[in-house]
Amino acid sequence: MDKKEKKIIIAIIVLAVVVLGVIWYLKVGYLLKKPEMPEANIAIQTQMVDGGAISLRNADYTENQIKIGYEVKGFSLEEYNIACELYRDGHLISTSGSTGGGLIELDEKHYYFIGYENITEMNLPESIHLNVEIKVIPNDFRQKSITSTFDVSLDKEVK
């Protein structure tokens, strides 16, 4: 084997290692990456409740949808259901369950939820004030539900 053949073989081996490394990262390494909570787009409101915390972090209002993002710490989804209810002027306009719009598991007993309501058929004004109720509902019917209530005012975003 001359020097040229050795260089070609070494180049092929290096290329194969790089390609396999990229494939591993895309298939396995990406999945090992810890999920991140989106940056808050409103002033964060937090309430401490029965050994846990509930925080309202995001709210968006567009022509077609109201979307709420909230963080829940200290409650296991195996033991509790989480729901978000949106009220406008005392009237319920939306209810979403634990994964109504999305769920990001951040850590053990630490989650970020996205609740949303499609509002294409509702005639809502350019600015609205919402009462957001986040309910932690135990699977054991003998325990009481925990409710955190937040207020948020939103202007309709035009896209």
Provide the residue range defining the domain that includes 90. 45-155
pLDDT in tens, 67-78: 899 999 999 888
CATH number, residue 128: 2.60.40.1630
Task: Give the global pTM.
Answer: 0.73
Q: Does 38 fall in a domain?
A: no
Q: Does 53 fall in a domain?
A: yes
- Same-domain check for residues 60 and 82: yes
Q: Does 40 fall in a domain?
A: no
pLDDT in tens, 32-54: 667 788 899 999 999 998 889 99
- Counting the structural domains of the chain, the total is 2
Q: Does 39 fall in a domain?
A: no
Q: Does 57 fall in a domain?
A: yes
- Same-domain check for residues 125 and 49: yes
- Same-domain check for residues 50 and 29: no
The pLDDT assigned to 46 comes to 95
122 or 136: which leads in pLDDT: 136
Mean pLDDT of the chain: 85
Q: How far is CA 96 from CA 6, 19, 36, 45, 54, in A?
A: 63, 43, 22, 20, 16
Of the candidates 60, 130, 135, 58, which has an alpha carbon nearest to the alpha carbon of residue 96? 135
Q: Does 52 fall in a domain?
A: yes
- Same-domain check for residues 55 and 13: no
- Same-domain check for residues 1 and 79: no
